[in-house]
Amino acid sequence: MINKKKSLSAWLKYLEISNKKKINLNELKLIAEKLDLLNFKSFVFTVAGTNGKGTTCAILEKLFLDSGYQVGLYTSPHLISYLERVRINGATLSAEEHIASFEEVDYIRKTTILTYFEFITLSALILFKRYSLDIIILEVGLGGRLDATNIVDPNLSIITNIRLDHTKILGKNRSLIAREKSGIFRKNIISVIGETDIPDSMNKIAQKKKQY
């Protein structure tokens, strides 16, 4: 565990060098459960896709803020500062708030090794829990099925489009990639797909989840 007096930059460096090689959502869910991060009262959007995820999340944030809702947004990657990744009601949080959430994750995880994205996703969810939010918008980092954001059940999932991306991880064709992105689907929960040319693999999963 890291010295609690470390700065945000020291924390981020620590997370980068301690990054494990393999994703394990079961381990991640166990930690999230201990932190009480799996049952939000907020309406949750999960947004996946090859292109346009960030834009979609930003539009959703603006629409709901303009309508008077309390909104939390988690996006990646950041452009200039890590603080950009989490916004509450359109504003970033202080480094001290992020550090406090890192300390909480670090304390609960004990000896469990997390990936960088797993760790910071838990941190973001902790920050969301500290505010009375009506809406939470989660941008998927990579794929969908095995992404850290997928530990939270969405009230509505969005897939912007399906293109060839990260083929070494997600699969060599659109059918395989669509299957990975469809991992954010939930049974009897509406999903919005931003294109008409939907691979058959995605259609089959949607039908199995009774989304049509």
pLDDT tens-place string over residues 168-178:
778 889 999 99
Highest mean pLDDT among 7-11, 15-19, 21-25: 7-11
Domains and CATH numbers, the chain: 8-208 (3.40.1190.10)
Question: pLDDT digits over 173-209, tens only?
Answer: 999 999 999 999 999 999 999 988 888 999 999 888 7
Residue 122 has pLDDT above 60, yes or no: yes
Average pLDDT of the chain is 92
Mean per-residue pLDDT, 34-55: 96
pLDDT confidence of residue 210: 65
Confidence of residue 72 (pLDDT cuts 50, 70, 90): very high
The answer, yes or no, to whether residue 18 has pLDDT greater than 80, is: no
Report the C-alpha dihedral over residues 83, 86, 89, 95, rounded to 10 degrees.
-40
Give mean pLDDT, residues 105-110. Answer: 95
- What average pLDDT does range 141-148 have in this prediction? 92
CA distance 118 to 146: 10
- CA distances (Å), origin 117, targets 159, 189, 190: 20, 26, 26
pLDDT at 19: 67
Under DSSP, is residue 40 helix (H, G, I), strand (E, B) or coil? Answer: coil
C-alpha–C-alpha distance, residues 67 and 62, integer Å: 8
Between 115 and 20, residue with greater pLDDT? 115
Peptide bond connecting 77 to the previous residue in cis, omega within 30 degrees of 0: yes
Mean pLDDT of 42-54: 96
At 208, is the secondary structure helix, strand, or coil? helix
Per-residue pLDDT, averaged over 148-164, amounts to 95
Q: Answer whether residue 134 shows pLDDT above 60.
A: yes
The pLDDT assigned to 58 comes to: 97
pLDDT band at residue 52, thresholds of 50, 70 and 90?
very high
